[in-house]
Amino acid sequence: MTSRSDPGAPSRPADHIDSAEPDPGEASVNQPKLGVVGWLRFAWRQLTSMRTALLLLLLLAIAAVPGSLVPQRSSDPNGVTQYFDDNPTLAPILDGFQMFDVYTSAWFSAVYLLLFVSLIGCIIPRTKHHFEALRARPPRTPARLGRLAGYTERTAPEGIDAETAIATATTQLRQAGYRVERYEQRGVLSVSAERGYLRETGNLVFHTALLGVLVAVGFGGGFGFSGQRVIVEGQTFVNTLAAYDSFNPGRFFDDTRLQPYSLSLEELDAVYETENRKAFGQPIDFTAHVTVEGQGEESTDRTVKVNEPLYTHGTDVYLLGNGYAPTITVRNADGEVVFTDSVPFLPQDANLTSIGVVKVPDGMDEQLGMVGFFYPTQETLDTGAYASTYPDLVYPVLTLNVYQGDLGINEGKPTSVYTLDPSTMEQLTGGDTGVDSIELMPGETTELPNGLGTVTFENASPDASEGDYSQSVPRFASFDIHHDPTQIWVLVFAVLILAGLLVSLFVPRRRMWVKALERPDGRIALEYAALARGEDPTLEDAVSAFADKHAGPADDAK
Amino acid sequence: MQLDEISILCVYSAMVVYAIAFIAFSIDLAKRSAAVTAAADATPEVTAGAPEHVGVLQAAAAAKASAAAAAAEGGASAGPARPAKVKLGAAGGPGAGASVAYGRSPALRVGVAMTVLAWLLHLSGTVLRGLAAGRVPWANMYEFALTGTLIITTVFLLVLVVAKQDLRFLGTFVTGLVLVLLGVATINFYVSPIPLPPALQSIWLVIHVFVASASVGFFALGFALSVVQLMQARREAVIASAKAAKASFLATLPDAVSLENLAYRVNIIGFIMWTFTLMAGAVWAEKAWGRYWGWDTKEVWTFIIWVVYAGYIHARATRGWRGSRSAWLAIIGFSTVLFNFTVVNLFFKGLHAYSGL
């Protein structure tokens, strides 16, 4: 039922359950002193033992836990910033232990690299041994089958001699997928058969493919890139380094590999639930209609959806976010346009209350900054505060707080387009100024305070009927653009892992023997027995099934 | 939401029937203890006055018949109970201890019948929920619990049909677990059916989540077998050390080695499905989030579960770890599965924020 030790399998770690039991006396014998080589060999044997692999596996599981308890820079950079703010004393200590980069940390890497070294140390000798086993003949039939698993005896039908019985057994075993070898030991005919070599093949494929995944992931990170870009409806993005809002290249990435193509966002459709009251306003569908044009190519219309990325020109384009980009125009006191643009406002909640910043560096006496709130469907709460109650454009309102002074961008210092540093500026509206914030609906224009000029919230569809704001504000799409040359290899290795696993766990590896003994009465007694090599729950059934097939049902005497 | 109301009604009815099944299975366990006590009191010879309890079979006596041990049938056939199946524990092995034959008590049959009835109600409730929502019924935590527990029961009933050993004794655990999970789900996780957000509108929702819940079903059964295995191993150790063993229902159950082998077979099916879950999840993550692996909290815990069960499989093949130690790993493994389903879903921040709560 369970596997037994098999002295003929030296390829496995010494403490594998299928390896030979160590001689208990051996350990107590005085061992000679180990030299450097001896120590290295000892260390290698320890590292490649089953016990070490098992402990490293458990260690890997434990080492992965902290990464789920503390925010990680890789998946949640804002969470890390927040954590530093909330725990100013604890966070630097944790950071010292690389707790915010667990999966690239020295200690996590050490565990999995040791595990993989142990794995390599295990699979190389096993592969070698397996190749030899594939060419080897099934071993000699043991002298006494009676002690082996599933042992059963049958009497051959009258008139069948030993030669015929063994010959048919050999044929039947071969047909059943066994590799067979006939033996004649002291005049006794027998056949030795072995099957299930695929089990070990699957095992080796599984472990090698794990290594393959690790290597592919490592290389993929090195040669690929990922970038982000926000595109407002009507705008075009060209796949060049400068066009990305943020860009994370791999270690070996070379920007000449970027294929220049352009991607224009024609329209972003957003559909929200309107019927189910329990889910009112829940997003149902986002579809970005884009046109793609490569060098010297016709432009083609394509779509990008949340679960349907666009694969084009060696890059994968994902729609990961969207929101509103109100078009705002600022004129100075002379009526000259000093700023006009669709400014992406970042959504803050499910109903798309959004925050954005307008920076006017030139054209006025002093630099002007505005912090805006956009409510696609504005409602006034009991407290007097504004809120959005629905994510689509039903009653869009834009409020702006105006700041005057130094934007802090003159020294060429890079600053975020989504934040305004008010420390060197004077607030003119909202807050404690006593002046109401500027409040606009699409198409409206109002005076800036102190006669600085005017600000306009442009209506994107001025011809729409009265009260229809559904197209009045442009939307933006936030695209992630990736290139990962080894992704396909990760998939290939993953499939190999699964296939190897299935084969190695479900194909039974077993040996079976049939022996023909001549009885004094001249009839032939047939002996059947088998040996499991690895987990084999159906071994005994297999022996009796084969015996039934070969010599008929069991003798009643038994 | 007419359909959803019927669905809830079905689920509540299923819970009531599960509770009845649980009580029946518990009565059966109590009867097993009583049978063992009675067998211990009886003389070693089987007497005609005790048709239900065949008597004490020393493992040593079975050594000769080792070839046929697995399928050996008990001798006593007269009497109201069906012929008792005798499991000859680790025939000839030392310390296997006495096992007591035990048929299928009326309570056990009631338990199984009620479980089948509860399963039917549970199935209808789940299907109706899917119809009410117009999609697969496993898109939020309530639905996932509904489907996951349904699969636990399904796997249990399937194993009853398929397995050679009689595993009806696991009914107490299975119905108990399903009852508790369903109770928590209906009271704490319930949300009315709402449409799918764009991120969940994918064929992978059908594949990835279903296979995940199916593997949970197998892991749950493997967990139960490992727990019984540990109890049985303790009892066998006590018997081996020649101390008086307490009369316990365990004497009517398969021996520790058989339980371990069963647990292993159930767990490797779960492990293969979990491997697939992880990979399908990665394929989906690539489509929906733009990367196949990003150490999101749920991904981390999926990985941890995978590694723990990989450790379990290695432990089975490591000398000194087979037996009770590997059973502990299976128990830790299922604990991480439950942790992943409850704590990670509810309290950890991550991209798998689909509990609907």
E strand or H helix at A546? helix A539-551
Structure confidence at residue B100 (pLDDT): 72
Nearest to A401 by CA among A363, A379, A434: A434
Q: Which of B192, B257, B318 sits opposite A50 (nearest CB)?
A: B318
Between B192, B265, B311, which is nearest A54 by CB? B311
Residue B276: its chain A contacts at CB < 8 A?
498
Give which of A3, A2, A154 is closest to A545, Cα–Cα.
A154
Please answer whether residues B354 and B200 qualify as being in contact, where contact means their C-beta atoms are separated by less than 8 angstroms: yes
Q: Which of residues 63-102 of A touch B (CB under 8 A)?
A: 64-65, 67-69, 71-72, 74-76, 79, 102
Provide, as residue numbers in chain A, all residues whose Cβ is less than 8 Å from the Cβ of B93.
none
Q: Using an 8 Å CB-CB cutoff, list chain A residues near B321.
A: 50-51, 54
Sheet holding A315-324, edge to edge: A246-249, A225-232, A475-483, A315-324, A310-312
Q: Quote the DSSP letter at residue A140.
A: P
pLDDT at B357: 66
Of residues A18, A19, A505, nearest to B272 (C-beta)? A505
Task: Report how far residue A230's alpha carbon sits from residue A480's, in angstroms, rounded to the nearest whole number.
Answer: 9
Q: Which of B314, B322, B326 is most worth mutating to test chain A (most A CB atoms within 10 A of its CB)? A: B314
Look at B294 and A103 and tell me if their CB atoms are within 8 Å.
no
CA distance A273 to A351: 12
Q: What confidence score (pLDDT) does residue A414 get?
A: 67
pTM: 0.85
Q: pLDDT 10s per residue in chain A (558 long)?
A: 333 434 444 467 778 877 766 655 544 455 667 788 888 888 888 888 888 899 999 999 999 999 989 899 888 888 898 999 999 999 999 999 999 999 989 999 999 999 999 999 989 999 999 999 888 888 899 988 888 888 998 888 877 888 888 999 999 999 998 999 999 888 889 999 999 999 999 999 999 999 999 999 887 678 888 899 999 999 999 998 888 988 888 888 887 888 889 999 999 999 998 888 778 888 889 999 999 998 888 889 999 998 899 999 889 999 988 999 999 999 988 888 999 999 999 999 888 999 999 988 888 888 889 999 999 999 998 888 899 999 999 999 999 999 988 887 777 666 777 888 878 888 888 777 778 888 999 999 998 888 888 999 999 888 888 888 888 999 999 999 988 888 899 999 999 999 999 999 889 899 999 999 888 887 888 999 999 887 788 888 889 889 888 887 765 444
CA dihedral (B269, B272, B274, B276) positive or negative: negative
Q: How far apart are CA A281 and CA A274, in angstroms?
A: 6
Q: What is the CA radius of gyration of chain B?
A: 22
pLDDT of amino acid B78: 35
Is A192 exposed, middle or buried, given 0-12, 13-18 or 19+ CB atoms closer than 10 A?
Answer: buried
Give residue-wise pLDDT tens across range B123-172: 999 999 999 988 899 988 899 899 999 999 999 999 899 887 788 889 99
Residue A186 DSSP class: T
Of A1, A68, A72, the CB nearest to B261: A1
Question: Euclidean distance between the first and final Cα of chain B, in Å?
Answer: 19
Is A188 near chain B, with CB under 8 Å? Answer: no
Quick one: closest CA in A to B307, which residue? A61
Q: Cα distance from A504 to chain B (closest Cα, Å)?
A: 11
- Give the number of other Cβ atoms within 10 Å of residue A508's Cβ: 18
Answer whether A53 touches B (CB < 8 Å): yes
- Stretches where chain B sits below pLDDT 50 are 43-97
